Amino acid sequence: MLKLPKISLGRSYSPLIGLDITTSSIKLIELSHSGGQYRVEAYAAEPTPHNSINEKAIVDAAAVGDAIRRAVKRSGVRARECAVAISGDAAITKSVQMPKNLSDAELEQQTEMQADQYIPFPMKEVSYDF
């Protein structure tokens, strides 16, 4: 059993997959939590397909997706939730002030308007959350 520092995996402690995509490899790990300890349930690594990632950007999503599918199959993971990180220079983070009494729909609408002002890319090409 592998002991890891106590971290939150969200509200529940159901198993979670971690996915790491780099220019050289695609690695995934499935962690479960029980009795205050984390346990590695499954692990796999696949080489990243040649020329599928260029300057930290996925340029051949189909090839990367196939490599992820191979890693999932080889590892035997059962979890359905996955945590994926992106490098800091690929993310834009902004804090904006909003009234606390906004409904979910109003909050989403305000976020869309604010995002359009702060993100220097066409919104069709951006994935964002709040």
52 and 27 inside one domain: yes
- The model carries a pTM of 0.63
Q: Answer yes or no: is 130 within a domain.
A: no
pLDDT (0 to 100) of residue 6: 47
Tokens 């709040």 map to which residue?
130
Same domain, 80 and 28: yes
* 6 part of a folded domain: no
Same domain, 80 and 27: yes
User: What CATH code is carried by the domain that includes residue 59?
Assistant: 3.30.420.40
20 in the same domain as 75: yes
67 lies in the same domain as 26: yes
Indicate the DSSP class of residue 52: S
The total number of structural domains in the chain stands at 2
What's the confidence (pLDDT) of residue 9?
Answer: 47
Q: Do the strands 37-47 and 25-34 form a parallel or antiparallel pair, or are they unpaired?
A: antiparallel
Q: Is 2 inside a domain boundary?
A: no
pLDDT of residue 45: 96
Query: How distant is the alpha carbon of residue 46 from its chain centre?
Result: 18
Which residue segment(s) compose the domain that 27 sits in?
Answer: 16-84
Q: Length of the chain, please?
A: 130
Kindly state whether residue 59 falls inside one of the protein's structural domains: yes
Q: Which amino acid appears at position 53 of this protein? A: I
Comparing CA positions, the residue from 94, 92, 78 lying closest to residue 31 is 78
Q: Which of 2, 32, 27 is nearest to 14 (CA)?
A: 32
Per-residue pLDDT 10s for the chain (130 aa) are: 334 444 554 444 689 999 999 889 999 999 998 888 899 999 999 999 999 998 878 899 999 999 999 999 999 999 989 988 777 777 778 888 888 899 989 988 888 888 888 888 888 888 777 7
- Based on the domain organization, do 24 and 73 belong to the same domain? yes
